[in-house]
Amino acid sequence: SSEVLEAIENVIQDVFESLSKKQAPVLTVTRRSDWRNIEFKDSVGLQMVPYCTTKQIRSDCPRSATKFALMLKILSMIYKMVQSNTYATKRDIYYSDTQLFGNQSVVDNIINDISCMLKIPRRSLHILSTTKGFVAGNLSYTEEDGTKVNCTCGATAVTVPSNVQGIKNLNSHAKFILIVEKDATFQRLLDDDFCIKLSPCIMITGRGIPDLNTRLLVRKLWDTFQIPVFTLMDADPHGIEIMCIYKYGSVSMSFEAHHLTVPSVKWLGLLPSDLKRLNICKDVLIPLTKQDQNKLASIQKRPYIACQPMWKKEACTNLLFLLEIMAASKMKAEIQALTSLSSDYLSRVYLPNKLQFGGWL
């Protein structure tokens, strides 16, 4: 807490010193989404380089004056919360003055800029994310307020905690962790009792692009239990992108990579090569868009692909295969395509075989 308060006080002191010199105060923030500021390290993933290019949020510039004021406003809110040991979600901050902030994305962006500027993780700023992820399986833990949570696999899952840092007494006999891209697939595996039929496991879904809490939980489980972590994604560029976020991190949050990435994540499926191997019928595929092609081309140029030759082979297979399918029928594949083989093929055949015979990358 003292570290956070001191960091904010230093920022405000700089503002006062500028004013005392009759100079316009500025806030200097890192260009978080600039690939020139990002490097790849195999043990961490995407991380910021020591000396990044920055931009100034000036108080005397019409284009940035509003953001300057909003950053000071949110800094003051953080300061009060840390002093009083209270917490708020990003949504709470937005709704504290919706007319002032305009929209939620403005608040989200400023909070990330502040976290990066202060070099302090967002959760230490007493700002919590609204959770959208679910967890189920062989796992129990105690939340910060003493609530005991049992994620025993059943018809329903447990919401990922909003304060992952505060959970303790984690207990599990799971043999592996399975990250599932989509909520529908996650629920189907729950209905099929997948968590207990094959072997004890923990299942997590971020319901698409994962929120911060889901990524934090995956990392905490991996740190705690040191068991294999697999991903089950669609065989399309969007699925590959999501898998890479868990494994290597994202550009915008690269300043927190050490707390968010799990470099040992394995790509279990759905692999592009599986589509041919299993003779998936073209009738169950869906359209491949121009956006998909651009996304895949972007992924292939990223630094972590060059360090993973087998991944690059699969990515190339994905590109060539999907382009081939597109030329013939303008289609691509999702996990649900496996139901064309049988309704329970995913949980009864596909995943058990993959896990038993090592069919991952």
Ordered per-residue pLDDT tens for the chain, 361 residues: 788 999 999 999 999 999 999 999 989 888 877 777 777 777 787 877 777 778 888 888 888 899 999 999 999 999 999 999 888 888 899 998 888 898 899 998 899 889 888 888 878 888 887 788 999 999 999 988 888 988 886 667 889 988 888 899 999 999 999 999 999 899 988 888 888 888 889 999 999 899 889 999 999 999 999 999 999 998 888 888 899 899 988 877 777 777 888 988 998 988 877 877 888 777 777 777 888 878 877 877 777 776 667 766 666 665 445 444 443 445 567 888 888 888 888 888 889 988 888 878 7
- Distance, CA of 344 to chain centre: 28
**pTM metric for this prediction:** 0.82
Q: How far apart are the first and last CA of the chain?
A: 42
**Whole-Å CA distances, 318 to 26, 278, 321:** 47, 15, 5
Q: Which of 95, 141, 304, 350 is catalytic?
A: 95
CA 139/CA 195 separation, integer angstroms: 11
Domains of the chain, first to last: 2-128 (1.10.10.10), 134-357 (3.40.1360.10)
| Active site (annotated) includes residue 95 | yes
pLDDT of the residue at 283: 74
User: Which residues are 46's β-sheet partners?
Assistant: 40
Quick check: helix, strand or coil at residue 141? strand
